[in-house]
Amino acid sequence: MCLQYWPLTRFMFGDIEVETIDTHTYAHFVFRTFRLTRKTDDGVETRIVKHFHFTEWELDSFPYISAFIELRRRVRQYMEKNPVDAPIIVHCR
């Protein structure tokens, strides 16, 4: 279980605005799209960030393996269709 650290709609974190612009909920995971915006001296810098949230892993337990494998398959599918020169970051707790 992950404590929610992202905004439901829009929130300012210092000089960076984080806006949730899309959410797709599946049985064992949620895919979100965030737009990060920061005003600079040269204008506005914007980034799109994809968030793949696995919801079937409770604290002090093992994940539902078939759901975890399905999440990995979906992330790979996304990366094949949308190649970017950026890392995938995985974290827990």
41-63 per-position pLDDT tens digit: 999 999 999 999 888 877 777 77
Q: What pLDDT is recorded for position 85?
A: 85
Q: Is residue 1 part of a domain?
A: no
Give residue-wise pLDDT tens across range 1-30.
567 888 889 999 999 999 999 999 999 899
pLDDT at 72 over 80: yes
Q: Report d(CA 41, CA 57) in Å as an integer.
A: 43
Total number of domains constituting the chain: 1
The parent domain of residue 52 ranges over: 10-81
**Is 67 within the bounds of a domain?**
yes
pTM above 0.85, yes or no: no
Give the burial class of 86: count Cβ atoms within 10 A of its Cβ; 0-12 exposed, 13-18 middle, 19 or more buried.
exposed
Res 92: pLDDT: 65
On whether residue 2 sits in a domain, the answer given is no
